[in-house]
Amino acid sequence: MAHDLSATDVLRGTCRWLLRAGVSPLAEVPLSGGRRADILGVDAAGRLTLVEIKISLADLRGDRKWPDYLDHCDRFFWAVPAGLPTGDLHTPAFRPEQTGLIVADRFDAEAVREAPWRTLNAARRKAITLALARRAAHR
């Protein structure tokens, strides 16, 4: 059940999926504007994937600032625990045409809706990638 999984469990399974997909993930990455990505990863082409983890409907429904993340990545996924109802994520408020959906447990994950790629501004990509590399190196 969804309530049996923590954000750490979803993080672990999602990172395993990202690694298999060729994306090197880093958790808890600060972004400009005071936001923080649950997971931000980069692939061999330099494209950025951002994942926002939600483990409850209250958490999901209460997040009004998530669209800010779209300016920090080439694709965006929601990651939720197995068993969490996902109906909200298919409504216009959560922009299903612009966002992917990952269902995860502590061992693995599956993309049940792929996130579309869009091209991030080159200067922004460079700044975010440099900040991501520096954060990873400090860890």
pLDDT, tens only, 69-87: 999 999 999 999 999 999 9
% the chain with pLDDT above 90: 91
Q: Quote the Cα angle for 37-42-48, to 5°.
A: 60
Q: How far apart are CA 42 and CA 133, in angstroms?
A: 10
Q: How far apart are CA 79 and CA 94, in angstroms?
A: 13
- Kindly report the number of other CB atoms within 10 A of residue 110's CB atom: 13
CA 70 → CA 8, 47, 116, distances in Å? 23, 13, 12
pLDDT at position 2 is 45
Helix (H) or strand (E) holding 100: strand 99-104
pLDDT at position 38 is 97
- At position 127, the amino acid (one-letter code) is A
Q: Which domain holds residue 120?
A: 2-138
Compute the mean pLDDT over every residue in the chain, rounded to the nearest whole number: 94
Q: How far apart are CA 20 and CA 11, in angstroms?
A: 14
Q: How far apart are CA 88 and CA 51, in angstroms?
A: 17
Q: What is the domain-level CATH number for residue 66?
A: 3.40.1350
pTM: 0.94
The total number of structural domains in the chain stands at 1
Which residue numbers in the chain have pLDDT < 50?
1-2
